[in-house]
């Protein structure tokens, strides 16, 4: 039996997510700036951010739109980048599946890289957590992440080109994903998938419209799944 409470779990989640504000804020600022520079109006940029809440796929779609890629390619690329969300949801289902529907729906909306990584790590480290505590922790992680992402995008739209290029906001993109992915590379299958994606992205970088992204992601999933299958067979 867990000695915690939903309130305590919520506060733990809130505290755990606070460091990510350091990278989420410039990430959102950058999207606000880039979105307006690409020709989108305020409503379009903010609608993009509020409805999607997925920085990597937003930047991917925006770049392809600016390059004049066909709509099908834009949609397919954005979906491919966000395919990881489906895997996130499947991974969280055993922990959050008993929660009321409205809570699960809200968690699905807030299921981003940071909230997933923190939530899944917490649930594995504290197997005795009750369903209300798990959901409270998840909402705690989302409390600083989601508002900061949306608010930073709005600030990026407002300040626009006033931000000096020397500020280097684009550093937030790789740092965010390195911080999330590196601790998760705990098995041979994880490492194999990561290495495959990097190698394929480099080899196929010549493909137009970021099609290398689709190919690298698909190859990484295939290799990771196959390595996992062989490891299970050996056991």
3-state secondary structure of 205: coil
Categorise residue 53: left if φ over 0, alpha if ψ from -120 to 50, beta otherwise. left
Per-residue pLDDT of 71-121, as tens digits, reads 888 888 788 778 778 888 988 999 999 999 999 999 999 999 889 999 999
94 with 129: CB under 8 angstroms? Answer: no
CA 131 to chain CA centroid, nearest Å:
23
pTM exceeds 0.85, yes or no: no
80 with 197: CB under 8 angstroms? Answer: no
Per-residue pLDDT of 145-202, as tens digits, reads 999 999 999 998 888 656 666 555 556 566 666 665 666 677 788 889 889 989 998 9
Angstrom distance (rounded) from CA 54 to CA 112: 7
Angstrom distance (rounded) from CA 213 to CA 73: 11
Domain boundaries along the sequence of the chain:
6-184, 185-235
């Amino acid at each position: 039996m867990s000695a915690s409470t939903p309130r305590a779990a919520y506060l733990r989640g809130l505290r755990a997510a606070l460091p990510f504000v350091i990278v989420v804020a410039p990430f959102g600022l950058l999207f606000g700036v880039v979105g307006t520079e690409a020709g989108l109006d305020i409503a379009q940029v903010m609608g993009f951010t509020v409805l999607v809440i997925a920085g990597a796929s937003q930047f991917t779609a925006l770049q392809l739109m600016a390059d004049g890629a066909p709509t099908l390619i834009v949609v397919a690329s954005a979906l491919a980048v966000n395919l990881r969300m489906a895997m996130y949801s499947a991974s969280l289902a055993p922990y959050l599946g008993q929660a009321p529907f409205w809570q699960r729906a809200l968690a699905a909306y807030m299921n981003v890289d940071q909230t997933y990584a923190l939530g899944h790590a917490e649930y594995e480290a504290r197997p005795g957590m009750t369903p209300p505590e798990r959901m409270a922790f998840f909402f705690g992680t989302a409390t600083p992440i989601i508002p900061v992402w949306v608010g930073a995008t709005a600030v990026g739209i407002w300040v626009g080109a006033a931000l000096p290029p020397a500020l280097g906001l684009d550093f937030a993109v790789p740092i965010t994903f390195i911080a999330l992915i590196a601790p998760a590379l705990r098995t041979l299958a994880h490492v194999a998938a990561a290495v495959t994606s990097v190698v394929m992205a480099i080899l196929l970088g010549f493909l137009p419209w970021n099609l290398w992204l689709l190919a690298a992601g698909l190859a990484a999933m295939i290799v990771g799944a196959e390595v996992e299958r062989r490891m299970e067979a050996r056991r």
